[in-house]
A and B are shown apart, each in its own frame.
Chain A
Amino acid sequence: MDKSHLGDRVVAGILLALAVGMFLYTLTFPGTLQPTDPGTAAFPRILAVALAALAVVLLLRPSEVALLPERSGAFPVVGIVVLTAIYAAVLPILGFLILTIVYLAGALLLMKVRKVVYLVLVPVVLSFALFGLFGLLLEVPLPYGLPERILT
């Protein structure tokens, strides 16, 4: 992806919109309890103004950046983001073990691992190892499904 000023300008626009939204939201905040207290809205308003001012400077003086991934790298990045979102959403329902095996297999495919034996063995071994180490040994709370209940 070629470098251009567009990336910084887009970011500046987003931050400017965020600052305006933040300032408007503070108008719904209650007043102060004591006259000398700057109030619950004061600090967020100062920050919104600072954010807007800095965003304007960035808009006017952008640097050349390549914000988006290269074409060949876009698919694995988008893929891992989507895969992780699904993983997080379904994790409490299906439990750690089954889902982590599927997730790891998917992530390995995105990392260009193509040998079936590795795509099966590595996720299975890693998932059980991580569950044993963190779930059982260190007692870190992990989402339980049927396999985890059987194991414990």
Chain B
Amino acid sequence: MSNWMAGLEAVLTIEVFLFIVLGLLVGIVVGALPGISATVGVAVLLPFTFTLEPLTGMMLLLGIYGGAVYAGSIPAILIRAPGTPASAASVMDGHEMTKNGEASQALTISVIASCVGGLLGVIALGLFAPALAGFALSFGPAEYFMLAVLALTVVASVAENNLIKGLLSGVLGFSIAMIGFDTIQAYPRFTFGTTDLAAGIQFIPVMIGLFAVSEAFLQFENRQNISLTGRVMERFRPTFAWMKKLAPSSLLSSVIGFVVGVIPGTGGDIASFVAYNESKRFARGEKHFGEGDPRGVSSAEAAKNAGTAGALVPMLTLGIPGDVTSAILIGAITVHGLRPGPALFTGSPDLVYGIFIGFFIAYLLLLIIGLAGIKVWVKTIQAVPTQYLWPTVMVLSVIGAYALRANPFDVFVMLFFGVVGYFMIKGGFPVAPLIIGIILGPIAESGYRRTMLINDGSFAWLLQPIPLVLLILTILSFGFSLSRTFRRSRR
């Protein structure tokens, strides 16, 4: 209980409250603009949290994360253009409702279900994460090595439909992580004699480049404006019967969303599709799904936001990112000299429990802000001219990369990875495995080498219970993806 009190004390300050609200407002705008995903928003604004207290900075980023994941559904529902990948499932019924003249109802479902999913997800996070962290305290290098391998295999398998490209992206990420001093002998590898590379490729410029800059390049290529107008916004007031009808799909999807979100590499993007399909299977009158069924919207919305909380479980307890945005949040924590993992729960309980409580408050505030201003948000987003937006994103990206060490080299790293990310997106290579590979690379290598040192060069550790279970899961995950790939290529 004292940990919860420490968290509550840390989070109940005006500063934290203001930054949560600021994060939510930025997140709603960012998420609702097609192209600027939650990841881009968090990546671009991450460097500006360096000067803030760790909890304040985290709450700003989590506000953006929650707000953007919710708001991604506004353009998905109105113009069939998901603002974030997690909102893609909301298009199916949400946009059909708009076409049926029920846009206002769909947007109301979106905000309520998002917040229900988010709140339930955060409660589950607060309940399960400390227990998992306690269990993870017993993890040694062998367990971490196998976890890193499992996480990368899962990420590469689920990120896109192409297993080979997913694995290539992940291995490339691992390889980039090999640049700089190695973790055991401190030998400088692949530095080509430059001091700029001795400490390794800095994670933050890579991330800004891969997510924000590459997306900006795509927007410079397309140079299209968005239009949310032309949609009739009817009057709509939720009733008790209406809520009762939507409650089962929202609750079921929140549970599914959280569980799927916990699996590394999935997050809200996949959670929303899985939950949508499951709700469709369990719902009565499922033939209406896909034709503008409000339950379809509520299930997709609840799941994607529950997934945001689920993604924080492996990130906080093991230091393994649950999705790409939580990979960036790892950067936000490590920059303050803290390391996500079980030790964070004992070393900085105010931060960890503050995150639980703060994220819960963020979803409560999102409910108020979202419900109060559905029409206002649509108008605000409409007023943001994309021609001015993307040049501004570029400047913010440059500032962010430069701010890390006041070193122009990092800006060039960002630019290089912006170009890499651009070609990866164009070539159908998932970017998520690369960034997660960069984070997991050092964990995997030091885990492997330490394990071999401890076991006198023997592989007997693979038969220990936890590494063995993780190995079996890795083989199953890989085998499943492989069989799916073969099945697809036969068709």
Contacts and interface: CB of A to CB of B under 8 A. Distances in A.
A7 B185 CA distance: 39
B479 interface: no
A47 B168 contact: no
Interface in A48-99: 48, 50-51, 54-55, 57-58, 61, 63, 65-70, 73-74, 76-77, 79-81, 84-85, 87-89, 91-92, 96
Interface stretch (B252-260, B390-398, B468-476): B390-398
A34 interface: yes
Interface string B321-340: 00000000000000000000
Given A50-B171, A51-B171, A58-B168, 10 more contacts: A25-B189, A30-B187, A38-B448, A38-B452, A47-B174, A51-B175, A55-B168, A73-B220, A88-B398, A91-B402
Given A34-B453, A47-B178, A130 B396 contact: yes
Nearest to B428: A65
A64 B486 CA distance: 17
Interface residues of A, number: 70
Most chain B CB atoms below 10 A, which of A35, A37, A80: A80
B427 A141 contact: no
Interface of A: 7-8, 11, 15, 22, 25-26, 29-30, 33-38, 40, 42-44, 47-48, 50-51, 54-55, 57-58, 61, 63, 65-70, 73-74, 76-77, 79-81, 84-85, 87-89, 91-92, 96, 100, 103-104, 107-108, 110-113, 122, 126-127, 130, 134, 138-143
A145 to B, nearest CB: 14
19 contacts: A11-B429, A25-B190, A37-B184, A37-B449, A40-B187, A43-B445, A44-B178, A44-B189, A50-B167, A51-B175, A54-B164, A63-B428, A80-B220, A84-B213, A108-B387, A130-B396, A130-B399, A138-B52, A140-B47
B222 A73 contact: yes
B223 interface: yes
Given A47-B171, A88-B411, A111 B395 contact: no
B219 to A, nearest CB: 8
B45 to A, nearest CB: 10
Interface of B: 47-48, 50-52, 162, 164-165, 167-168, 171-172, 174-175, 178, 182, 184-185, 187, 189-190, 213, 216-217, 220-223, 387-388, 390-392, 394-396, 398-399, 402-403, 406, 408, 411-412, 415, 418-419, 422-423, 426-429, 444-445, 448-449, 452-453, 455-457, 489
A70 B429 CA distance: 19
Nearest to A83: B394
Contacts of A85: 412, 415
B48 A140 contact: yes
Contacts of B428: 63, 65
Contact of B449 (A43, A57, A88): A43
Nearest to B413: A88
Nearest to A142: B399
B281 to A, nearest CB: 31
A35 B457 contact: yes
A61 B418 CA distance: 26
Given A44-B189, A67-B423, A104-B391, A111 B223 contact: yes
Contact of B388 (A81, A84, A108, A134): A108
Contact of A140 (B51, B182, B221): B51
Contacts of B216: 80
A127 B93 CA distance: 42
B221 A77 contact: yes
Contact of A65 (B398, B419, B426, B457): B426
A104 to B, nearest CB: 5
Given A38-B448, A111-B390, A91 B411 contact: yes
A26 B178 CA distance: 11
A38 B452 CA distance: 7
A51 B168 contact: yes
Contacts of A51: 168, 171-172, 175
Contacts of A112: 223, 387
B395 A103 contact: yes
Contacts of B444: 43
B453 A76 contact: no
Contact of A139 (B51, B178, B448): B51
A140 B408 contact: no
Contacts of A67: 423, 426-427
A40 B182 CA distance: 7
B453 A84 contact: no
B171 A130 contact: no
A110 B388 CA distance: 11
Contacts of B408: 88-89, 91-92
A37 B445 CA distance: 11
Contacts of B52: 138
Nearest to A107: B391
